[in-house]
Amino acid sequence: MAANLAAEAEGGRPAGTAPAPRASRTSAKGEQTRARLVAAARTLLAGDGLARFSTRNVAALCGISHGMCHYHFQDRTDLIVAVARDIGPEWIGPMEAAVDRPGPFAERAERVIGLLTQPEGPDLSRLHSALHWFALSDDRVRAAIDGEYRRWRECFVRLFQVLADEHDGAFDPVPLGTALAAAADGLAAIQSLDARVETGASVRALVSGLAAAAVRP
């Protein structure tokens, strides 16, 4: 017992126990640092720091050296791409879950409508705007955002695929899913400018109208 206590005091672990693998500890610390950098980048992009967004300013906000920032991210674009992927679970994940949970088209459509009628949070809205701004002049950012929006559009294609399957493949779900995705993006943009805009009726009319047109004899 005394030996164990002495070992803990000197080495931080009881005698006879194996030390944690150094690589694992280093990897975990590196992941934590990377996550902190992405969080700091998000803060700058969602705030008023768009014009001064740089790896140096992100590192300063994070409280680490500029060199350590470049150890994890090659350049500013790498950071922006990491942010684009980091926010995916917040806006795409819930929609994927709503579409892919079991149930007929009507049930899944109700879940989708419920999500589409929820206004996007101000921070997420500003992040999307900042990412689109950078995508205008950076092909790597554009490719990353395009990949995320492909996932987003695929949610609506899968939704209408359920309806198509219920009607023995009577129509192609891709145009309908793409149309709903585009309309949803437009409504979100309108609501980001004026939170008083009530999108519920519009979203419901869109979904029901597209569905009715698809299965009409």
Taking only the tens place, the pLDDT of each residue in 90-137 is 999 999 999 999 999 999 999 999 999 887 788 888 898 899 999 999
pLDDT given for residue 57 in this prediction: 94
Output DSSP code: residue 199.
-
Both tokens of 54, joined, read: 């740089």
3-state helix, strand, coil in the chain (%, to 5): 75, 0, 25
- Please give the biggest Cα pair distance in the chain: 85
Residue 137's SS3 state is coil
CA–CA–CA angle 129, 130, 131 (5° rounding): 95
How confident is the prediction for the chain on average, in pLDDT? 86
Residue 22's SS3 state is helix
pLDDT (average), residues 147-160:
96
Contact 84, 144 (CB under 8 A): yes
pLDDT given for residue 10 in this prediction: 39
pLDDT given for residue 161 in this prediction: 97
d(CA 188, CA 119): 7
Contact 46, 127 (CB under 8 A): yes
Q: Is the pLDDT of residue 212 over 60?
A: yes
Both tokens of 23, joined, read: 């690589």
Taking only the tens place, the pLDDT of each residue in 13-66 is 445 555 555 555 558 888 999 999 999 999 999 987 678 899 999 999 999 999
CA–CA–CA angle 176, 178, 181 (5° rounding): 110
| 146 or 216, higher pLDDT | 146
pLDDT given for residue 85 in this prediction: 93
d(CA 170, CA 54): 51
- Rounded to two decimals, the pTM is 0.80
143 pLDDT band, cuts 50/70/90, is very high
